[in-house]
Amino acid sequence: MSKPDLTLDKLTLIRTLGSGRMGTVKLYKETDPSFPNAPPIFTAVKSIPRSSVTSQAQSTRIMREKATLLALSHPNLISLYATSKDDSHLYFLLSPVLGGPLHKHFRDSLNGKFAVNRVKMYTAEIASALMTMHANNFVHRDIKASNVLISAAGNCVLADFGYSKLLPADNRQTFTFCGTLHAMSPEIATKSPSGHSFATDWWSLGVLVYECLVGAPPFGYGDDREDFLKKLEQQTDGDDGVTYDPAVFDGVGRSAKELIQVHKCAGPCTSGSKGATSGSKGAMSGPKGARAARKALFAIKTRCSFVHTVVYVLGQRCMSMVCLPLVHTAASCL
């Protein structure tokens, strides 16, 4: 898709789409006075007050988001048209995604959750977007419902790349504590000395799938890290890996249970380092954590002819077992 040639001074405000910690997103349109009958061009403008950028970390987030958006192109990733700035603000001119964030949709749905077929489609779309990111050596690190937008056509569009990072070919591990706690992978949450890599995004996608089907994430919401680690440890003890109460699927049906399954890992999940990332007592590191990581994987099965995603969890640091051949549009699955 070609990017329109937009400049901020030619845009007319329509309405505010949303706001967050780093700024506000508003919908604008541009009309060419030379062609009054031509349809307008719409764009979403993310404005970031300069006064809110008070640390090097915040400045880094903005620059990383710009670099990621400039490097990537995919129908399920938001597009960057241009950037601009003035004395008071920084601006990102983005493709407009008008359906709002994913979490508002499942909260407004019947019983506060989605039907399984809808989750299959969304899973395929987000996974396809992540595969493009990872193929270009970018990790997102903040996959959650509020960072997935729904387009006017009903498709998922991944947004907010402030925590994304380009991983160099000679070092795929990174160590920053970042993301959102309820969707955070164990290797980030425990501040693993082995760091984290692309697999952290697949963990978060598994959490999101569970959240869409059940109406809440498997380890609950909240911003208390110690409480989160306790819940994570309680639900990742034993040989069966991640556990959950089967009652959460009451009224959803067998197909939802089949979509989220827990399996034992058939082989070791190592990446050259024997340090564990999660699963043991206390800080959830050490040999017990390594054994737990080898035992657990989270399966997301979409029952269409060519989509099958198997996602390791419990902080595995090697490449995620992901097989999504020929996935270009989730609509092909249904």
Q: Which residues are catalytic?
A: 142
CA 157, 159, 163 angle in degrees (round to 5)?
Answer: 145
Integer Cα distance of 107 and 101 in angstroms:
11
What are the beta bridge partners of residue 15?
27
Secondary structure of residue 258 in the 3-state scheme:
helix
Integer Cα distance of 174 and 191 in angstroms:
11
Is the CB of residue 111 less than 8 Å from the CB of residue 251? yes
Is the CB of residue 261 less than 8 Å from the CB of residue 301? yes
For 11-146, strand residue ranges (E) read 12-20, 23-30, 41-49, 80-85, 89-94, 138-139
CB-side neighbour CA atoms (13 Å) of 50: 7
Integer Cα distance of 114 and 141 in angstroms:
24
143, 206, 234, 235, 267 from 242: Cα distances, Å: 19, 11, 9, 6, 17
Tracing tokens 């340090």 back to the chain, one arrives at: 275
Widest distance between CA atoms in the chain? 70
What are the beta bridge partners of residue 43?
28
Other beta carbons within 10 angstroms of residue 117's beta carbon come to 15
Instruction: Tell me the pairing of strands 156-158 and 148-150.
Output: antiparallel
- Residue closest to 203 by CA, chosen among 88, 106, 298, 81: 298
Secondary structure of residue 263 in the 3-state scheme:
strand
Phi, psi of 210 (to 5 degrees): -60, -45
